[in-house]
Structure formats: structure tokens, C-alpha cells
Amino acid sequence: MAVIGLASAVAGFVKIRHLVDKAVIDNAIFRMHYRVTSAILFFSCVIVTANNLIGDPINCIGDGAIDRHVINTYCWITYTFTMPSHMHKPIGSSVAYPGVGPIVPGEEPIYHSYYQWVPFVLFFQGILFYGPHYIWKNYEDSKMRMLTEGLRGPLFHSVNMEERRARQKKVATYITESMHTNNTYSYWYFFCEFMNFVNVIGNIFFVNRFLGGAFLDYGTKVLQFSEMDQENRTDPMIAVFPRVTKCTFHKYGPSGSIQTHDTLCILALNILNEKIYIFLWFWFILLAVVTSVAMLLSAAVILIPNIRESAIRRKYKPLNNANNVPTLIRKTQLGDFLIVYLLGQNVSETVYTEVMEEVIQNLETINSNGPPPSVAPPTAPPGHIEMSNLYPTVEKRTDV
């Protein structure tokens, strides 16, 4: 029941119930970082801390001279080790378990102390993947939610046609008045998108360092293992996450001499750790690839106006003039494009087309008659004082 309660807390973090009515302020790959990846890491943290799934995380077998609770505690808070030379020897005839055998003089053991830090590291990684979204959400400051309130989600169907037209007109007026003042908005968005890429690459190397250099090729070794002859193969997951290890305990004997006690320790927790990290290896590789593609697309959007035109055409279907989209792209800057693009992600195709028609009409009016006082471009983007006049009853949410 404790596991279910903790898992429910993670589900509350994801807030699936709010996704239908939530304003979109980023793209699907951006959401893979802070919604999916953070949830995976937090849930993994819950799993490895739920001792009732596997019992005690460590159980050590000694000669009986030391209390079992004492040796378990000592080996858990210090470290256990395996011997590399015993890793590939036959089990049952040469060694009791891969890596477990007599200490070889001059050979450096492989020490395992990471297991006590796994839940903390997973939780820390979850925070790292949420960080770029947190920065972007605070800078974005509900602008897109306020712009599209009443034009998206369940509330859209409860608004009559006259009120919907009035809201669309106000949105078009805001886009026109804030033209050429939204570049900082786009800079922050693309910076946070770049931080997602840096974050996933950095996490791959961070986990590799945490696991002693065994993570970078972890997944490829597991794939190679599945293709090897069953009689002549050693599971690479056992090498990284051994289930049986050794631990040495020293104490004073009755005469004051130092006694050494060699114990065999079962790390049941590594059954979970190996599954979690093999999944994370494949997930991080996939996430790094799709994030790289997203970065290339973002670079194309920044550098190539035709890409921006294609992005708008996917949602905007001009009613009269097919040259409206190129005209719009020529008159907008990168920040204006991002506002227009995100608007299209939040409203229906019909609403989006009608708003864009109104925006283009406003721009044509400005070009032909000059900017009237009510439509004169401001020196700074309209703040929430101006925007709140559109929807004064909207309460700001603090959810994800």
C-alpha cells in the first residue's frame, strides 16, 4: 500500500487530469523531458526505496562470530566488492558466484558502494529534467493560457459565437500590437530547449561516472549478451549490478589482535537497479536522438523563413489569398512566429485561421493607413495588465 501511495504522488506530479484543458507552451519532445522522463525517474526512486518489494536490501552470511544485524549494517554503509579475475570462471566449480572468490594478491577489487545513493541520484536526475521547463514556465508566465482562454478545451464549447468572435478579435489585436517585441520570448524558449539537450547528454555521462564507467556501453553489452552462446556467456548486468558480493569486517579479538571476517553479501536491491538502469540507457539514447532532431528543426526555424511558413501552413488555411502566409512571415520576427505557432497548437484549425485572417487584415490596415493610435506598436510587449482586460476572471494556475 505504501508503494501505491508513493506512486500516486508521482501520478499527481504528472497531472494527467489537467492535460485536456492545459495550454500548450512547448512541443512534444520538450514534454518528453519534464513530463515523461521526470516521472520515470521519480517513479524509479519510489521503487528502489520500497523495501517491502524485495525485503532487506542486503543480507550478509558470516561465520556467526558477529551479529548478523551488525554485519549487514556495516556492509551497507561502507561497501562490498568483487574480484575481476573471478568474473568469468565457471560457477560451482571454480567460484561460488561471478566475481566472488578468494582475494588475489596484487589485484584491485571492484568496490560497490553506489547502491546506497541510487534513490538520491534518481531523485536528483528527476529534478534536473524538470529544470528547463520550470525556467521556461516562469518566464512564459501563463501568456499563452491567457491568450487562448475560452478558445480551447471544454470551455470553448460553452462560448457562444458572438463572444468567440470578440475574443478572437482581441487575440488578433494583441498579436498585432505586440509585433516585433517578442524576440526575448523566443530566445528564452530556444535556450530552454537547448538546455534539454545539454541535460540529457550530461545525464548520460553523469550516470556513467556514478556507475564507475560502466554505463556508456551498458546497453550494447546487454544486447551482445543476448546473442551469445548460453554456456559461454556472462551477464553484463551482473558485472555492473552484482547480486552476490564480498565484504570484509575487522574487529579486535580477546587478546587485542585484529581479526578479519570474510562475509558473503546478497544485494537483492540490485535486481531492481539493473532493470531500472538498462531501461534508462535505452530511454536516454532515444531521448538524446529525438532531442538532437528537435534542435536541428529549431535551428532550421531560426535560419530559414520557409520552414516557418511551412509550420504555419499546417494549421492555417487561407480563406481568400494564398499569399497571406509569406506576407505574414515577412512582417514577423522570430518571437512573433513563436507566439503565432504556439497559438496554433492550442486552438482548432477554424479558430486559428480566423485569428490569422484578422491579424493579416490589421497589418494591411496599418500599411495602408498608418498605425492608428489604438494599434500603434508599443515599445514593450503588452503586460498582463493589458492582457487581463481580455479575460479578467481567469485565475493563474501554478500546476505543471
Residue 126 domain boundaries:
2-78+113-388
What's the per-residue H, E or C state across 231-296?
HHCCCHHHHHCCCEEEEEEEEECCCCCEEEEEEEEECCCHHHHHHHHHHHHHHHHHHHHHHHHHHH
Q: Which residues pair with 166 in a beta bridge?
A: none
**Whether 168 contacts 350, CB under 8 Å:** no
Closest CA to 188 of 135, 228, 130: 135
Q: How does strand 110-112 pair with strand 80-82?
A: antiparallel
**Whether 30 contacts 196, CB under 8 Å:** yes
Q: Looking at the domain assignment, is residue 94 inside a domain? A: no
Q: Looking at the domain assignment, is residue 108 inside a domain? A: no
381-396 residue pLDDT tens: 444 434 444 444 444 5
Q: What is the pLDDT of residue 88?
A: 76
- Statement: residue 335 has pLDDT above 50: yes
**Whether 350 contacts 157, CB under 8 Å:** no
The Cα 261–Cα 249 span in angstroms is 5
The Cα 261–Cα 275 span in angstroms is 32
Strand order in the sheet with 258-266: 59-61, 258-266, 244-252, 80-82, 110-112
Q: Looking at the domain assignment, is residue 175 inside a domain? A: yes
241-264 residue pLDDT tens: 888 888 888 888 777 788 888 888
User: Phi then psi for 235, rounded to 5 degrees?
Assistant: -60, 120
**For residue 208, what are the contacts with CB-CB under 8 A and spacing of at least 6?**
214, 215, 216
The Cα 239–Cα 217 span in angstroms is 13
Q: How many structural domains does the chain have?
A: 1
The whole-chain average pLDDT of the chain stands at: 81
Grid coordinates standing for 257?
A: 589482535
Q: How far is CA 38 from the centre of its chain?
A: 5
pLDDT (mean) for 288-303: 94
- Indicate the helix (H) or strand (E) that contains 61: strand 59-61
Q: What letter would DSSP give residue 322?
A: T
The Cα 64–Cα 263 span in angstroms is 10
Grid coordinates standing for 230?
A: 548460453
pTM exceeds cut of 0.75 = yes
**Of all residues in the chain, what percent are helix, strand and coil, respectively (each to 5)?**
60, 10, 30
Q: What letter would DSSP give residue 15?
A: T
Q: Looking at the domain assignment, is residue 354 inside a domain? A: yes
DSSP 140-206: HTTHHHHHHTTTSTGGGGGS-HHHHHHHHHHHHHHHHHTTT--HHHHHHHHHHHHHHHHHHHHHHHH
- Statement: residue 373 has pLDDT above 50: no
Q: Which residues pair with 95 in a beta bridge?
A: 91
The Cα 141–Cα 382 span in angstroms is 13
Q: What is the pLDDT of residue 76?
A: 87
Q: Looking at the domain assignment, is residue 377 inside a domain? A: yes
What single-letter amino acid sits at 91? I
Q: Looking at the domain assignment, is residue 86 inside a domain? A: no
The 3-state DSSP class for residue 100 equals: strand
At residue 62's C-alpha, the angle toward residues 61 and 65, to 5°, is 145
Q: What is the pLDDT of residue 381?
A: 46
Q: Looking at the domain assignment, is residue 167 inside a domain? A: yes
Q: How confident is the model at residue 332 (pLDDT cuts 50, 70, 90)?
A: confident
Counting beta carbons within 10 angstroms of the beta carbon of residue 67, is it exposed (0 to 12), middle (13 to 18) or buried (19 or more)? exposed
Closest CA to 166 of 367, 377, 354, 369: 354
Q: Looking at the domain assignment, is residue 330 inside a domain? A: yes
164-222 residue pLDDT tens: 888 889 999 999 988 888 999 999 999 999 999 999 999 999 999 998 888 888 888 88
Q: How far is CA 309 from the centre of its chain?
A: 29
The Cα 215–Cα 373 span in angstroms is 62
What single-letter amino acid sits at 303? L
The Cα 325–Cα 310 span in angstroms is 9
Q: What is the pLDDT of residue 14?
A: 55
